Copies of this chain bind each other. A is one copy, B any other.
Amino acid sequence: MSIYRKSGFKKDGNTILQEVASKSQLKEGKDAVRGVLREIYRFGTIGTKSLARKLFLPIPTVAAIRKELEKIGFIERLKKGAILTELGVDFVNLELQINYFQNLLCKECDGTTIELPDDADSIIPKLRDFTDLRPTPQTEIDQAFGKPITALCRALLMLQNDDLEGREVLLLGDDDFTSLAIALLGTLTKITVIDIDKRLLDVISQIAKENNFDIVCIHADLRKPISNKLVGKFDTVLTDPPYTISGLKLFLSRCLQALKPELGRKVYLAYAHRAPNDLLDVQKVIQEHGLVIQQMLPGFNLYEGAEMHGNTTFIAKLLTTDLSKAQIIDEFYEKIYTGEFSPTLRIYKCSKNHEIQIGKNEKIKTIEELKEMGCPVCGSKDKFLRIKREKI
């Protein structure tokens, strides 16, 4: 008789998973609970962040599951992360019938399908030098910086798919510096970057100038119509829009305006992994724009930030069809950023322990502003520590 059954548990595996899923209020369903148990079983001690990244789940989701699994004695927390108890191992083995250990994700490409070229060893450090120059991310406008390897893999994916050479390529937002990764490949590509953040554009322009890269930088807020001279000009667009439905609609609409009105132009879309029902909403928007998915790679993009999303998102290669058309949006001042949908109030402490409230409705709206202004009480700009964060 199994330890699980001996311990008085009478319910079968799926019922237990379902109960944990309900208690954790999971949009992802009971397989997310199973996934957490399976990853811990396969990889031993593992932290919440790593779990979230491997399972393509938001960190709060994983934290909630972990907490419920602790309550019923399936896992315990060590310093290094969560580990299965004897009861947990027994449950995984005998009730869920999981006992395969090997990780089958290709170690060479890590699921990106891309092989790094011979000169990657010289490109990556250069790209890292570039990305080191990025200013602090503005989380208010959903900035989360992609890792240099991700910028490179995106450029290589586009190159492998024949979407770079001799092409007009647009980066619709480029806090990930994909433009510079493309430039480093040395292909004959005309690169244009549009961003709302002038700081980023200044860095990209400066680097382009110093390195003789052919990159045109344009400062624009996509909520306003794009300039006429950019309409119908591009073969390929890459965008990593705000992960909201309105943000997606706005950015895809601008993508379609910018693309040549021809069959088979490409949109590379980076977007957060979503639970099935939410992903359906995303794909409805894609289809409403007459775009079609030709390739979709979960876990392709890795970020230094975006912890909310387990530091990773998918990439999808979309193609225009005869039904593609921009839903022309003249001016758009609805909410598009995630922070606008679920605003938070954050309390920071300065180095002299003064508490400062930051939020949409506060005097100081972002951590970036606070760092620039300094503490309103003592003026100190030293260090700010976040001590609380709550939804308004």
Residues of A within 8 A of B (CB): 13, 28-31, 34-35, 38, 95-100, 102-109, 111-115, 117-118, 156-157, 159-160, 162, 165-166, 185, 187-188, 262-264, 276-277, 279-280, 283-284, 287, 290, 292-298, 316, 319-323
Asked if residues B276 and A321 are in contact (CB atoms below 8 Å), the reply is yes
- Given A29-B264, A162-B34: A322 touches B277 (CB 8 Å cut-off): yes
- Which B residues are CB-close (under 8 A) to A109? 106, 108-109, 113
Say whether, besides A35-B162, A108-B107, A109-B109, A323 and B97 are in contact (CB < 8 Å): no
The 10 A-B pairs with the shortest beta carbon distances in the complex, nearest first, are: A97-B166, A106-B109, A108-B108, A97-B188, A104-B160, A296-B296, A29-B263, A29-B264, A276-B321, A111-B113
Contact partner of A106 (CB less than 8 A), chosen from B28, B102, B113, B323, is B113
Oligomer: number of copies: 2
Whether A31 pairs with B107 at a CB distance below 8 angstroms is: no
Nearest to A153 among chain B residues (CB) is B104
Q: A28-B264, A296-B296 are in contact. List 4 more A-B contacts (CB 8 A).
A: A31-B162, A103-B115, A104-B156, A106-B106
User: Do A262 and B107 touch across chains, with their CB atoms under 8 A apart?
Assistant: no
Task: Give the distance in Å from the alpha carbon of A95 to the alpha carbon of B166 in the complex.
Answer: 8
Q: Can you offer 13 A-B residue contacts whose CB atoms are under 8 A?
A: A28-B264, A29-B263, A96-B165, A97-B187, A104-B117, A105-B113, A105-B115, A106-B108, A106-B112, A106-B113, A108-B108, A280-B323, A283-B293
Q: Once the chains bind, are B263 and A280 in contact (CB under 8 Å)?
A: no
Give min CB distance, A78 to chain B, whole Å.
Answer: 24
Q: In the assembled complex, which residues on chain B have CB atoms less than 8 Å from the CB atom of A298?
A: 294-295
CB distance from A302 to the nearest CB of B (A): 15
A264 near B296 with CB under 8 A, answer no
- A109: nearest chain-B partner, CB-CB: B106
Residue of B nearest to A165 (CB): B98
| In the bound complex, CA of A45 to CA of B363 (Å) | 68
Please measure, in the bound complex, the distance between the C-alpha atom of A106 and the C-alpha atom of B296, giving whole angstroms: 16
Residue in B closest to A323 when the chains form the complex, CB atoms: B280
What CA separation (Å) do A207 and B97 show in the bound complex?
Answer: 24
Could you say which residues of chain B place their CB within 8 Å of the CB of A293? Answer: 283, 293, 296
